[in-house]
A and B are shown apart, each in its own frame.
Chain A
Amino acid sequence: MFSYFLRRVILMLPVAFGVSVICFLLVQIAPGDPLTAIMPVDATADEQAAMRAIYGLDKPLPVQYAIWIGNLAQGDMGKSIATGRPVAGEVFGAVQNSLLLAASAAVIAFPIGIFLGFLAGYFRDTLLDRAVTAISIAGVSVPNYWLGIVLVIIFSVNLGWLPSMGAGPGGSQDWSWDWLHIRHLVLPAVTLAVVPIGIVARTVRALAGDLLTQDFVLALYAKGMSRGDVLRHVARNAAATALSVMGLQLGYLLGGSILIETVFNWPGSGFLLSNAIFQRDLPLLQGTILVLALFFVGMNLIVDVAQAAIDPRIKRS
């Protein structure tokens, strides 16, 4: 098991390297000189050159990359141009809020998705199956930022049950587990859960449908095993694939919450990202994307290893 883990980590390293290169290049493809945001308009050519030297912008790209990655290794992601605060602190604060949102959405989505998918797979080609299939197609087709607005119209504007903005009363930034804060979480988490419900339901339906028609199921029934025990065998066989889909979905939830966070003014990484974009705060943009992407890479690693732990067949292939 440990050697498998090690192999996955080694395979992950070039990907992580590539991710850092892409994040580094993001700033390079941005139009305009990164200095224009901080230099006064009437700066002379000498002053600009001096500033360029201070920021290391006069060095060739590979050297700039090496300096950037060196600082990164020490936890220094540069300073935000807009606020002057270190990027690392801003990003980690925001990512915590995004994780809270993504995890809540996952807690809603995965059980519902598994339940619906299993029902559809078990009662294949019945009305129930068709209903679940329709739900999952609608789930993956809905633009969730629009769904968020519709939920706000229903539950905030018309019914007045739930708040539509922020993560706490009065735009409070500090999360705590009381109803005053949790009620702010409900609408964004439900909105975010809809797409993974569709995807998980679709996956589990296909898995359950395939497994239930296999010979070993018939054999288990034939030797007199009860329905519940047979289903346990089926679940064990489906677990590895279902788990990998859900793990990836959790990663997508974190990256995909950007639009939802904008709709609900949720103070997470997406909110930070859209601020960074509109203030042309490139270090902040770069840092946020790097952290989210590396989180996604780490998630993939966890999924791979967990999958192998559940299903020994994967390790051998």
Chain B
Amino acid sequence: MAAVDTDILEEPVTESGKGYWSGVGARLMRDPVTLICMAVILLLILSAIFAPYLGLADPYKGSMIARLKPIGTPGHILGTDEQGRDMLVRLIYGGRLTLFIGLTPVVLAFFIGGTLGIVAGYAGGWVNTVIMRTVDVFFAFPSVLLAIAISGALGAGIVNSLVSLTIVFIPPITRVSEAVTSGVRALDYIDAARASGANALTVIRVHVIGNVLSPIFVYATSLTSVCMILAAGLSFLGIGVRPPEPEWGLMLNTLRSAIYVNPWLSALPGMMIFVTSLCLNLLSDGVRSAMNVRD
């Protein structure tokens, strides 16, 4: 009898301690698709980070006599590219730049757009008007067009790609974070906090951020796949990473000339982009439903 009572008493204590996040974790653990995608992404990130320590061949060193070897050639499991460089090595090294340029802009846009949106949503008035009308203008450009326009004007290069993609993803994140923030702003406890004399920064820090962060975060994760595809697309067009750096989009571009010689080999880098973006999408969907965020 006593044991039952303490169970009842202790149950809510453990729940309130880490209730939400342990619930999210438990839901993720029951979702095999999301777990697999998480594992794939983790593997790609780890192999990208540790590529130089894996004892792989030199990704820049080609061989005139070993050009465009087919998939399955001894010594070159995935064949060689148009300059005789090992495909497997270049695909592994290619993940470094592709993932870096594909994911960094969303992270930057998350901080910049999130801040802009929270400020606009909390402040309201003319601050809101200025920020949101500016954002509206950027919405007049399809994202691909905007990325290519800015990158095209700035010229090729890693930093330019990061800049143009960050600019592309700030407006959508700002819009979402403004929407959730003005929703929270209208709630009574914000009025109560303000009435108690807290200044704007304190109210945002203590009462707003915690309530708006997860929808903004989940939305940002849903953009990672598009960002990856766009980043590789810029390199594919020749306005992203410069040769001879290994990068999946750029590799896809340079191998196009080999399409009649060794067709499936030339499709490999794109396959990597597809698998990564698919996993990012499925992972984002899984996290969204685990976190119970509705859109």
**Residue ranges of A at the interface with B (Cβ–Cβ < 8 Å):** 14-16, 18-19, 21-23, 26-27, 29-31, 137-138, 140-143, 145-147, 149-150, 152-153, 157-158, 251-252, 254-256, 258-259, 262-263, 273-274, 276-278, 282, 285, 289, 292-293, 296-297, 300
Contacts and interface: CB of A to CB of B under 8 A. Distances in A.
B62 interface: no
A138 B145 CA distance: 22
Interface in B137-188: 137-138, 140-142, 144-145, 148-150, 152-155
A273 B142 CA distance: 15
14 contacts: A19-B137, A29-B154, A140-B225, A143-B233, A143-B273, A146-B271, A146-B274, A255-B145, A256-B144, A258-B148, A262-B236, A273-B152, A296-B140, A297-B140
Contacts of A293: 140-141, 145
Given A137-B285, A143-B232, A297-B140, A282 B267 contact: no
A149 B141 contact: no
Contact of B229 (A26, A143, A297): A143
A18 B273 contact: no
Contacts of B137: 14-15, 18-19, 21-22
A258 B274 CA distance: 19
A149 B267 contact: yes
Contact of B152 (A147, A259, A276): A276
B277 A143 contact: yes
Contacts of A146: 252, 267, 269-271, 273-274
A275 B145 CA distance: 15
Most buried by B among A146, A150, A252, A274: A146
A137 B282 contact: yes
A149 B267 CA distance: 7
B256 to A, nearest CB: 7
Interface residues of B, number: 44
Interface stretch (B15-23, B115-123, B257-265): B257-265
A27 B236 CA distance: 23
Interface string B236-278: 1111000000000000100010011001101101110110011
A78 to B, nearest CB: 15
A89 to B, nearest CB: 21
Contacts of A150: 267, 270
B134 A18 contact: yes
Contacts of B278: 137-138, 141-142
A285 B225 contact: no
Contacts of A23: 149
B133 interface: yes
B58 interface: no
Given A31-B155, A277-B239, A297-B140, A26 B270 contact: no
A146 B271 CA distance: 8
A15 B136 CA distance: 7
Given A143-B273, A145-B233, A258-B148, A153 B263 contact: yes
Contacts of B154: 29-31
A132 to B, nearest CB: 15
Contacts of B271: 146
Contacts of A263: 256
A141 B270 contact: no
A259 B270 contact: no
Contacts of A22: 137-138, 141
Shortest Cβ-Cβ A-B pairs, 4 listed: A146-B270, A18-B137, A255-B142, A255-B145
Given A256-B145, A296-B140, A142 B263 contact: no
B281 interface: yes
Contact of A143 (B148, B150, B270): B270
Interface in B66-109: none
B259 A145 contact: no
Contacts of A252: 142, 144
